[in-house]
Amino acid sequence: MLSTLKEQIALGSAEEYLSSLFEKIDKSRLNAFTTLDKERALSKAREFDKKPWHGRLAGVPVAIKECISTEGIQTTCSSRILKGYVPPYDACVVERLKADGAIVMGKTNMDEFAMGTSTENSAWGPTRNPWDLDAVPGGSSGGSAAAVAGGEAPCALGSDTGGSVRCPASFCGIVGLKPTYGLISRFGLIAYANSLEQIGPLTTTVEDTAILMEIIAGHDWRDSTSTPQENVSYLPDLKNGVKGLKVGVPKEYFGEGVDEDVKKAVWDAISVLEDLGVTRTEVSLPHTKYALPAYYIIAMSEASSNLARFDGLRYGLRIGEDKDWHTTFSEIRAAGFGPEVKRRILLGTYALSAGYYGRYYLKALKVRTLIKNDFLAALRGVDFLVGPTMPQPAFKIGEKVNDPLTMYMADVFTVPINLAGVPAISVPCGFAGKLPIGLQIMGRHFDEGTVLRAAQAFEEATPYHKKTPEVA
């Protein structure tokens, strides 16, 4: 918790606290970080100890996902093709964190170019789950989630294209928010699928998530998708409770393929909300079954276009002597991209090719509209929706990595939210054995206040967020 951290800094020093984190990371088996900015971070901490500056995150270390640009710190998207690339500028969210007093401690591991659900598709090796070192932490922001859950960072930023903040939050037993599309600037986020992705916080409590959201949200003229939201305020909503609110439970989110432990934990969570004064009603999101194919066509098509710029000719990987342009371009991309990235580029290029653009991509966009309309209709009569974040707890490392279709199916409850552009948060709601389970709370566009309010009420009424892994 950020409040706990401030107490620790008050008792000792920011430098001592940050040094203890770096020592823990150096001994860790999680592989949550790819790069640590020790020298600059410790220098900042020493400055803070000598003359503390103001800000809600003053002196607080923050971990940043590998696909978010950080001036002077290598940013590779966990891909060989960007090895050695050091951005000359900060992403908007990093600028805002620094302006509020935060100290960037390093970059966290991820699935290469955010393409994955397990953080196994990384050029720097897989990240491990702090609750079980043989299990995945979720993805693609698995490094950020594992770092927070494992006590290696008090908070972190991730990005969410189809569940990449909420999935690892669920698997690692922490809080992760995917904001409304356009609420947080994407300037400095290395693009995978522009129309779907959003930067979001990963923390140990809902209050900490609200604090980070107040700092990083808001309009940015450099991002054409950024909406004119200014001076967002969420903390006051957290005190209001949920008595009198209405919750919708989508019947499609409890069908075949959902683990029984997950079903029980989520229904128990719904009962807790009812005990707090929430009225429950069943709703329908009828086009949910089309969400996965629509999402992967759209995401892969956008990835095919976005990743065309990575050729090693201006920055990143270079191999051997230069040959003719086509040969050099092909050899660099063959060596620089991993198998999952290549798969998605090829599928996306196929979907956009002559004769198939209308058959696949345009049809997927129409399905996307239907899914968005499902959420608008379902939320018309209720204040928020709830369901499982993931259909199962964390699976074993290597269990699904060679079966991409099964891996994609794990995103069945997270991708509809990105297609619709609505906000959703994952909060811990139970355990399957020793592995955490996440409750997903979904809301109307730009109604993060209600989503956070419901999450806070549930968190205060349950003990799950207080539990920490013994493995890490």
Question: Per the residue annotation, which of 28, 79, 122, 164 is the catalytic one?
Answer: 164
Is 291:415 a contact under the CB 8 Å cutoff? yes
Q: Which ranges of 157-290 would DSSP assign to H, the alpha helix?
A: 166-172, 206-216, 260-275
What average pLDDT is seen over the chain? 95
Half-sphere exposure of 144 (CA within 13 A, CB side): 38
Q: Find the mean pLDDT for residues 273-282.
A: 98
Q: What is the mean pLDDT of residues 6-13?
A: 60
- Domain definitions of the chain by residue range: 2-248+263-284+376-466
Confidence of residue 437 (pLDDT cuts 50, 70, 90): very high
Residue carrying the six token digits 């009603």: 281
Identify the three-state secondary structure at position 233. Answer: coil
Is 140 noted as a catalytic residue in this protein? yes
| Rounded-to-integer distance, Cα 364 and Cα 296, Å | 9
Catalytic residue among 6, 44, 65, 400: 65
User: How far is Cα 44 from Cα 28, in angstroms, rounded to an integer?
Assistant: 24
- Strands laid side by side in the 246-250 sheet: 33-36, 103-108, 61-65, 156-160, 198-203, 175-178, 424-432, 435-442, 384-388, 246-250, 279-283
Three-class SS string for 194-247? CCCCEEEEEECCHHHHHHHHHHHECCCCCCCCCCCCCCCCCHHHHHCCCCCCEE
H or E segment and range at residue 103: strand 103-108
Fold of 2-248+263-284+376-466: Amidase signature (AS) enzymes (3.90.1300)
pTM of the model: 0.96
3-state secondary structure of 437: strand
3-state class of 62 per DSSP? strand
d(CA 338, CA 324): 23
- Which of 105, 198, 200 shows the shortest CA–CA distance to 153? 105
Q: Of 193-197, 352-356, 454-458, which gets the smallest average pLDDT?
A: 352-356
pLDDT at residue 5 in the model: 46
Cβ proximity of 309 and 302 under 8 Å: no
The CA distance from 189 to 328, in Å, is: 27
For residue range 317-359, what is the model confidence (pLDDT) as tens digits?
888 777 887 888 888 999 999 999 999 999 999 999 988 899 9
Enter the tokens of residue 232.
Answer: 């967002």
Of 79, 140, 170, 226, which residue is the catalytic one?
140
Q: How far apart are CA 128 and CA 425, in angstroms?
A: 22
